[in-house]
Structure 1
Amino acid sequence: MLAHLPMLLLAQTALSTQTVVPEPVSVAAVDPQGGQIVTNQPGQAEAAPADAVPAAPADVVVTARRREERAQEVPLALTVVSGTDLAATGAFNVNRLQQLQPTLQFYSSNPRNSAINIRGLGAPFGLTNDGIEQGVGFYLDGVYVGRAGAATFDFVDVQRIEVLRGPQGTLYGKNTTAGAINVTTRAPSFTPEARFEVSGGNDDFVQVKGSASAPIIADKLAVRVSVSRTSRGGTIHDVASGMDVHRQDNFSARGQLLWRATPDLSFTLAGDFNLQNPLCCVQYYARVAPTQRPLNRQYAALAAAFNYAPPSTDPFDRVTDLDADLNAKQEMGGVSLVGNWDIGPATITSVSAWRYWDWKPANDRDFTGLPITTVSANPSHQTQKSQEFRIASNGKQRLQYTFGIFLFNQKIHTDGLQVQGPAASRWLLNPGASVPAGSSACAPVTANACNPAILNGLTSTNTIDFDNTSFAVFGKLNWEAFHNFHIQPGLRLNYDKKSGSYVAVVTTGTGSTVLNPDQRGVLAPQSYDPRFSAWNVSGDVTLSYDFTPDVHAYATYARSFKSGGINLSGLPLDASNNPILSAATVKPEKVNHFELGLKTQFADRRVTLNLAAFWDDIYDYQATVTNGQLGVIRGYLANADHVRVRGVEFDSSFRPSARFNIYGNGAYTDAKYVKFPDAPCPPELSGGTIATGAQTPAAPGTPGLSPAFCDISGQVMPGISKWSFSYGAEYNVPVGAGQVYLGYDGSYRSKFSSNPSYSAYMNIDGYSLSNFRLGYRHDDFNIYAWVRNAFDQHYFELLSAQSGSTGLIVGQPGDPRTFGGTITKSF
């Protein structure tokens, strides 16, 4: 399927994720766990006698270069999730997909502030910075999507999703140091077909999906159109407005036109449009942690001064009291043209694409019902253009090759706005010793903190521009040195150039640009133009051996780079409240990756067990950090000297009969800062007067002196659970000509840190989620009831600390229990 070549034809690793055959092929795909065989058509499992012994499952196969290849023979850690499994588990976006993949992490406080990680690597945990590079490549039908926020659309008419773990830079157009997610939609068909799916559930959940494909000119021209509409009521109640927030309101459409110019030359023109207008995203009171700020400047005293209390101190009561607008509207889409020309010994591929992303947010960034920060928004517009050419050998010669060229340009324009309210002075400034903790009296006025006019209306208008150009030449060989033993070296030459502009104009409530020290300490004017450019060479080599047709082993070493970045969220300030220009850029990450893998099937291929062990040393790791300034809302980028991520993974499945199958995946991940001696401090070591010279900082959580920085060497990295699992099973019984089935899918994550520097108050406890489904299917019809998060597990997706070291910790809770039903029908 020409429109669906998501990466360079992977001749060298025997991995192919697409087909160049224009008409749909019955491609077998493994379920999220690597073993259950499904087809492209939902609900096509046929009833069989209860005592039937299943034949050997069909090979888990994807096709490209007009030949089939078994995914089990691919010498890398790879998982394929079929469209059927996505529908059955309700995984209709990247956030839901992570529940099926233990080594995949997705973090999002809103669509713009989203990050996709694999094995804990990819993007730094924390708020997004426009100048950061992604370490996990996200591909939609072969087109690289330049930022995680633009990949948060609903999956529409998906055939399968492939998750590849580890560096992929010598085979992908864009360099990817941590892995890749490959979304493949269904291709146009020369046989008329249609699909329809409708779901409904509690909280007014409604989701409708439909697609249709047909020939326009027999064997020459075919079209496919797909649409999706999702809506859901809110799961959090805002007592101030009386509305339920965290709503979903999504629409997606995709069209494809396939032209088979000759038997050897085909083109696919594709376009998609996605609109999301949810009433989200809110974080609110989770807990309070002691800091080193004076007690009359910590949360309890500040709240008492305003006679303020949150509507609940139990975050799972799901109530908040927003006093600012809330929105997360985004629009995204693009067009692509993919061509394939089979010239006999090789196939030439071209992928041309243009995409855009519009982000129009509104937030309550003080996380309370008080008018502290009344506006904090960064509406953003992105466009990207990419062109990829590649040539890959056909057939199974002893020496296979792939070579490619990739060009990419991305432009982002952001108009940021932050406005302080009448409560900001008291909340952010020092009221002085004459004002007792908890006192609401501010007469006589002894400090600017007791004068609301000092910060009320203080406004920072930020104009941010970013231009990112990337060019790469890459290639990989696959040499069968002797029978069943392959040597697969790869090489990449990469050039990146980034330029940006950050201009922050700050005015007082009266419109003046003349600021006093207190005002400048909260919102400081900044103007700088960061630049970064560099060439780098990366490469990898894989040795693989096929012991038997069902036992395969491999060993990989990769030296990879993630491009340097520029800070485009404002810089930290020096003692005079001037921006520190040396922090305007961050150095490239350098990755040494080692991996050993074993892929096995036995018991007539009814049992699959795949193992992988990996070790990554990353130097100059790009981290998102914060500092002790009172008014800093967003973090900035910095380099950690050395981090290490290592672990082991397993994927397994067992199908003892045609009636029953079971799977289990797991990962152990050990991720630490090996050397980061000058990191920002956690909340309990922040907020006090900075210690100098021989002064000794106060104990954690004790008001007094704070360290200028903290040595977090040896501490755990944020966002990474040491243990994570996904598991499930399905049992069916014949009923008439069809089946009644009961399915279960579960996942577990152990606790993880939600702060760049480890904090005793910023851990998210481990949690498990359980999903059930019960239904009936026959041929092209499937109806089932489902319940997700069946035991109503209370858990946070992330925690954040309120700026200013007040001690307030806010959280974003995961979805509560949901239930409903789905009907699918194919024609």
Structure 2
Amino acid sequence: MRSARRMLALLAGTTMLAAPALAEGPADAAEAAADAVDVGGSGTGEILVTARRRQEAIQDVPLAISVVDARAIEATGSFNVNKLTQLQPSLQFYSTNPRNSAANIRGLGAPFGLTNDGIEQGVGIYVDQVYYSRIASATFDFIDVERIEVLRGPQGTLYGKNTTAGAINITTRAPSFSPEGRAEVTIGNLGLVQAKASVSGPLVDDKVAIRLAGSSTHRRGTIFNVTSGNHVNELDNLGLRGQVLVKATDTLDLTFAGDYNRQNPECCAQIYVRTGATQRPLNRQFAALAAAFNYAPPSTNAFDRLTDLDTDLRAKQVIGGASLRAEWELGSGSLTSVTAWRFWDWDPSNDRDFTGLPITTVSANPSKQDQYTQELRYAGTTGRFDYVIGAFAFHQKIHTDGLQVQGSAASRFLLNPGNVPAGSSGCATPTTNACNPAVLNGLRAVNDIDFKNTSAAVFGQLTWRVTDRLRLQPGVRVNYDKKSGSYISTVTTGAGSTTLNNDQRGVLAPQSYSPKFSDWNLSYDFTASFDVTRDVLAYATYARSFKSGGINLSGLPLDAGNNPILSAGSVKPEKVNHYEIGLKTQFFDRRATLNLSGFWTEISDYQATVTNGQLGVLRGYLANADKVRVRGFEADFSARPVDGLSLYASGTFNDHEYVKFTDAPCPPELSGGSTGATPSAPGTPGGVSPANCNISGQWLPGISRWAASFGGEYALPTRLVGADGEAYLGIDGSYRSKFSSNPSRSAYTDVAGYALANVRAGFRVQDGWDLFGWVRNVFDKNYYELLATQSGNTGLIVGQPADPRTYGATLKVTF
């Protein structure tokens, strides 16, 4: 019945839905990649955005906002959020698989590490004003996108769901009453085939218009699995979207939309990078353990892109939904209602020991989600006042069936054989559980997890035009959140018994708990902006914001008796104080734009995903760090110095740290040893490990201190194959400095900085066709997207090598 309801909704939605884009005239690719501005190359145009829920020029918006339009997305191959980060230096995206993904702005938004369903994401993702609660949606291809706005800083007084770090606001192309169509085909190395198409036109004269769009992407994996003989970490995406616009009256527009997205790649592998010394005895560190099984990874150079994972990999997900948006011109403003339902089905299979050894033979947490949202918003003008008031309701249900099974090598890897002579393998005399494969072989945890999340809010923002040049803008939000969950883990031995010894409970502990959280909070902000001249806008903002508290739904840490610590079942809300100043400028007859911003954000009770220090535990849990801070500055520049030449550059400096986190988990070089009063030096085999670590003053994970994007395009009018058009050459580059890839910074998991360059060259005919060749990662730079540690403090470090050099050709046709 559930499948039938979904199919009916999707079939209906495919001939309905979506929101008409309010901005017209996309900018050139190089210009739209920065914060500013020339549309169509006239030198006097503007980019129009709806960031503040009304149409206005981007240079008039007193907040840090970047816009990437359709031509920039297509020209640079930025077909999902991960690719978009190369154009947006303040945006970070990290993913070990679609579920375990995080989109952050200025390094804030979601904790770095394995996803926990029990908390909110601090970066809101909106598609045609519909809130997407699952970050997994960001791993799909953009479908028929008109533009993407990236708003930096808290946005809770303007947007339905509270967004403490920023928002990614995606607007798709609207149904058109003039018949039109677009088609695009890309072919590249690694077997890349990508096809996109959309058509639009009237159904009933000037009353009803329809738009249909689809996208398909296939690419061979970048890593070869010598065990299966397959290339893994491939792309296999399919997306469909339908919209119907009904002009019910002269003042009322109804937009119906439906979408379906399916992703089914053989993915996602993290592979051997290196080993580092921990506090475990030498015979319990990775080199000795591997030698005991006569095991060696297929390569110790990750950029050979080889693995031998012995568990099937699967990252299948289906995301879709339907919505209705009504826009009614009423009085001096407009009333907008957005009603939406979305679902997400996740069917994974992972190899969580990252090796070809049978340590963990099954690790899968298939999940199903339904969400319902309703937003009602009125935006209007009265005299010198512009205002937006709104209400938002959200309800989400998630059910997860988790399964983890240990294999025949688990005892040796995860259990302590006790005191053994120096240089011994530890199992010459197999008298301990660690030397008996049967102790953990077949140990199975079956998890039954439920989660309900309800949120409601009223919000508003007022702009008072005190004079023709001075504006004051207060905003407020009142929010209520309620979360409840159930986590039941049933553990059985390989023989099927529920009676476990202490070692078995230390690896997979039976747990049953029902965490709850509910709270009210008040957010507010105030912005003052001033037109210094016609083309110079200065602004200053203070925002007090909250991210809702959460509950732990990935299992709890254990006490000394291997029993769950129930007090860790929930985490407190984040409390955000945000300060920002900015300057938006245009010069050279508006052919050049330079926007500057400085920010300082402090968060108390920061929600961190931390790694459980106990042996054998594969997942992290949530904890509150006392205080973190990010501060820095950003600059965005774009220019058209002469006809045909467009340039852009964007950069950010981000100084970030845990201001106070005194009881954090320790990094791997301080973990795995015995307990004692005086900890040993880092990486001392058989040493003493502290119970926890003070990481105050250390880096936050996932944030580069320096990041930049830059590039340009030169187009020359010419004639080719009987058509008048322009030949063009484009270059895009990006840079990110070193960042930490572990919640507690480790000497083993810093990701080195890297610079990338992309080029493209082609010929295009205005409103006709565009053919270009492209090379991405021109210099075939080897770099990691992230690094991670193996469970149990063995010292194994694994990582995800990013894409090597890719190349291909794209043909676009507009009709």
Q: TM-score, normalised by structure 1?
A: 0.94
Q: Which residue of 1 aligns with 2:756?
A: 769
Contact 2:18 2:256 in 1 (8 A): no
Structure 1 residue identity aligned to 2:757: S
Contact 2:761 2:773 in 1 (8 A): yes
**Counterpart check, 1:410 vs 2:391:** no
Structure 1 residue identity aligned to 2:808: G
Contact 1:189 1:224 in 2 (8 A): yes
Distance 2:145 2:584 in 1: 26
Distance 1:64 1:241 in 2: 48
Q: Taking structure 1 as reference, are residues 312 and 67 closer, same or farther at Cα in structure 2, changes over 3 Å only?
A: closer
Q: Which residue of 1 aligns with 2:742?
A: 755
Give the CA RMSD over aligned residues.
1.6
Q: Which residue of 1 aligns with 2:715?
A: 732
Q: Which residue of 1 aligns with 2:13?
A: none
Q: Which residue of 1 aligns with 2:663?
A: 678
Instruction: Give the counterpart of 1:270 among 220, 238, 257.
Output: 257
Structure 1 residue identity aligned to 2:704: S
Q: Which residue of 2 aligns with 1:37?
A: 38
> 1:512, CA displacement in angstroms?
0.2
> 1:132, CA displacement in angstroms?
1.3
Q: Taking structure 1 as reference, are residues 534 and 705 closer, same or farther at Cα in structure 2, changes over 3 Å only?
A: same
Q: Which residue of 2 aligns with 1:500?
A: 485
Q: Deviations over 1:116-163 (max 9, x none)?
A: 100000000111001011100000111000121133211011000000
Q: Deviations over 1:644-674 (max 9, x none)?
A: 1101000001211112111100000011000
Q: Which residue of 2 aligns with 1:46?
A: none
Contact 1:459 1:508 in 2 (8 A): yes
> 1:726, CA displacement in angstroms?
0.3
Instruction: Give the counterpart of 2:697 among 691, 698, 714.
Output: 714
Q: Deviations over 1:187-242 (max 9, x none)?
A: 10000000000000001000000000010101100100000010001110001111
Structure 2 residue identity aligned to 1:401: Y
> 1:632, CA displacement in angstroms?
1.0
> 1:4, CA displacement in angstroms?
6.1
SS of equivalent residue, structure 2 residue 221: coil
**Counterpart check, 1:784 vs 2:772:** yes
Q: Taking structure 1 as reference, are residues 380 and 65 closer, same or farther at Cα in structure 2, changes over 3 Å only?
A: closer
**Counterpart check, 1:653 vs 2:638:** yes
Q: How does 1:252-401 map to 2 (within 5 A)?
A: 252-394=239-381, 397-401=383-387
Structure 2 regions of 5+ residues with no counterpart? 1-15
Distance 1:363 1:163 in 2: 32
> 1:56, CA displacement in angstroms?
2.4
> 1:518, CA displacement in angstroms?
0.8
Distance 1:59 1:434 in 2: 73
Structure 1 regions of 5+ residues with no counterpart? 7-17, 40-53
Q: Which residue of 2 aligns with 1:13?
A: none
Contact 1:3 1:142 in 2 (8 A): no
Q: Deviations over 1:669-693 (max 9, x none)?
A: 01100000000000000001122xx
Instruction: Give the counterpart of 1:559 among 532, 544, 553.
Output: 544
Contact 1:305 1:438 in 2 (8 A): no
Q: Deviations over 1:385-416 (max 9, x none)?
A: 0000011104x731111110000001111111
SS of equivalent residue, structure 2 residue 523: strand
Distance 1:776 1:358 in 2: 42
> 1:437, CA displacement in angstroms?
4.6
SS of equivalent residue, structure 2 residue 562: coil
Structure 1 residue identity aligned to 2:351: D
Structure 1 residue identity aligned to 2:598: A
Q: Which residue of 2 aligns with 1:12?
A: none
Distance 2:50 2:283 in 1: 66
Q: Deviations over 1:248-286 (max 9, x none)?
A: 111000000110011100100000000000111000110
Distance 2:623 2:769 in 1: 53
Moved more, 733-742 or 154-163: 733-742
> 1:770, CA displacement in angstroms?
0.8
Q: Deviations over 1:756-798 (max 9, x none)?
A: 0011111000001111001001112100000011111111111
> 1:62, CA displacement in angstroms?
3.6
Contact 1:304 1:438 in 2 (8 A): no
**Counterpart check, 1:109 vs 2:90:** no
> 1:482, CA displacement in angstroms?
1.9
Distance 1:412 1:438 in 2: 48
Contact 1:385 1:410 in 2 (8 A): yes
Q: Which residue of 2 aligns with 1:819?
A: 807
Distance 1:705 1:282 in 2: 33
Instruction: Give the counterpart of 2:166 among 176, 179, 187.
Output: 179
Contact 1:226 1:253 in 2 (8 A): yes
Q: Deviations over 1:59-93 (max 9, x none)?
A: 22247999852111110001110011000000000
Q: Which residue of 1 aligns with 2:142?
A: 155
Q: Taking structure 1 as reference, are residues 64 and 790 closer, same or farther at Cα in structure 2, changes over 3 Å only?
A: closer
Distance 2:495 2:398 in 1: 31
Distance 2:405 2:747 in 1: 32
**Counterpart check, 1:452 vs 2:437:** yes
Contact 1:364 1:373 in 2 (8 A): yes
Q: Taking structure 1 as reference, are residues 63 and 799 closer, same or farther at Cα in structure 2, changes over 3 Å only?
A: closer
Distance 1:731 1:35 in 2: 18
**Counterpart check, 1:209 vs 2:192:** no
Structure 2 residue identity aligned to 1:728: G
Moved more, 57-66 or 645-654: 57-66
> 1:627, CA displacement in angstroms?
2.6
SS of equivalent residue, structure 1 residue 262: coil
Q: Deviations over 1:565-618 (max 9, x none)?
A: 000000000000000001000000000000000000000011110000000010
Q: Taking structure 1 as reference, are residues 433 and 577 closer, same or farther at Cα in structure 2, changes over 3 Å only?
A: same
Q: Taking structure 1 as reference, are residues 352 and 221 closer, same or farther at Cα in structure 2, changes over 3 Å only?
A: same
Structure 1 residue identity aligned to 2:195: V
Q: Which residue of 1 aligns with 2:797?
A: 809
Contact 1:38 1:84 in 2 (8 A): no
Distance 2:48 2:545 in 1: 29
